[in-house]
Chains A and B, each alone.
Chain A
Amino acid sequence: MTEQELLSHIFAELKKVAPECDPVELAPDENIREALDIDSFSFLRVLVGLNERTGVDIPESDYGKLSTLAAMTRYLMARLP
């Protein structure tokens, strides 16, 4: 999976919980939850969706490491099966 492909997965999941927002406009180091006004339930849903799309298991203690687009991409790319 290329980084671009991963990004389109991330965007698709974010669009599901924040359909009126355009995640493409997010800056790489912007805090996703704050920028898109996503609560903890929705954020968990995004992570579960990404887990299903990429197969990467994300332990709860790592949730904090996926707060920006850059961090999220880095974290997942490094662990892609």
Chain B
Amino acid sequence: MGEFRMPSLGADMETGKLVEWLVVPGQRVKRGDIVALVETQKGLFEIEVFEDGIMGEPLVAAGQTVPVGTLLARIEAGTAKAVFTEVRTEPTVEKTTEPSPVSKPQETIPAQPTISSERLSCSPSARRLALELGVDLATVQGTGPRGAIQRSDIEAAAQAKTITSPQATAAPAESAGDTPETRMRQAIAAAVSRSNREIPHYYLATEIDLSHPLQWLEEENRQRSMRERILPVVLLLKATAKALRDVPELNGFWLNDRLQVQPDIHVGFAIALRTGGLISPAIHHVDRLSLGELMQAMADLIERTRSGRLRGSEVTDATVSVTNLGDRGIKTVFGIIYPPQVALIGFGKISERPWAENGMLGVRRCVTATLAADHRATDGHQGALFLEALNRHLQQPEAL
């Protein structure tokens, strides 16, 4: 067993602040890997390990300043299984974390979901639910405290399974060797196939002049600190929610051969995962959030989605979906509705375009908004009313 200690990087270095852990307990490391960032009076250093093994639990939390030579973590020579028991114990260092003047206190890195064939960390309720829904726990990634599998994880896994099941005979059986990415791809494939097969889509598109709202936003952002600034997509999302209030038929589910309009507006926002695939977690009650709150909610959601810490309600609650591909330079989105929802709103890139108005030609910043809607639930007329309302709300950004 090796020991990873606060290194002495110079004769005059007495202490170092552990700014950030770059590895998680249970992770395999090899000689020369960078495992932590340490700040000294000379600046920030990347710290490497000098042996191969498996990272033990952190004995010093990010944010703590400790003397040179302090044991920061053990490096186990054994198998991951042996370490797993150890990382399951609660780190006791959290309480002593002191705020750093340079960087905000880092969260103690939670042990990432570690899957062990010996003992899964799984809540009792999730364990029972998995049994009821026929979900194999070994295939589920936990998002709970210390990587524990929770009900939401089982629900998400079961949903993917349900979507797959109608074509279970045709689809290749899930093999144990599949990566989570493969399984997600399979789930997405099943969902969109079903959507395309069952939902008679109709599409409407419109160009919206964003000059005024963006001007207003720039003015607004000037008064906000960097952390509080709002991105244009937040305006689009809030306006969408308000327009859905005007045309509620697009906010609902097609179930049992009828439209069930939902009273609350929970917008599923498509988030691409860096490892591939996407998740559309719900932002709850978008119509009731202020722009600032919505910005915070989205930032929080994106971060948690990418770190795999979504809540169950967020995975299952969306009543309508929004896809924004503007970041990638796309002009127009033609979306696939996520069943049982009945509409998907797409936004492309915001760009300067020639714009004719009152017989004059000018250059305006525009976005193409599209609506993909389920023809069983609504007709083009309602869809058109929705896009009109969307434009109207965007032109009154101060009221958003």
Contact = CB atoms under 8 A, between A and B. Distances in A.
Interface of A: 1-2, 4-5, 8-9, 12, 15, 18-20, 33, 37, 39-42, 44-45, 47-48, 51-53, 57-61
Given A41-B302, A48-B226, A20 B231 contact: no
Given A47-B226, A58-B226, A60-B229, A12 B44 contact: yes
Contacts of A41: 231, 298-299, 302
A18 B44 CA distance: 20
A52 B44 contact: no
Nearest to B103: A53
A69 B330 CA distance: 25
Given A20-B274, A48-B227, A39 B104 contact: no
7 contacts: A1-B43, A2-B43, A8-B37, A33-B327, A39-B272, A45-B303, A53-B102
Given A12-B20, A52-B104, A44 B44 contact: no
Interface of A is mostly: helix
Interface of B is mostly: mixed
B274 A57 contact: no
B352 to A, nearest CB: 14
A53 B19 CA distance: 12
Given A8-B43, A45-B299, A40 B327 contact: yes
Nearest to B272: A39
B229 A44 contact: yes
A9 B44 contact: yes
A19 B23 CA distance: 11
A5 B44 contact: yes
Given A37-B274, A51-B226, 5 more contacts: A2-B43, A5-B43, A8-B37, A41-B299, A53-B102
A8 B218 CA distance: 31
Contact of B218 (A2, A12, A53, A60): A60
Given A8-B44, A53-B103, A59 B222 contact: yes
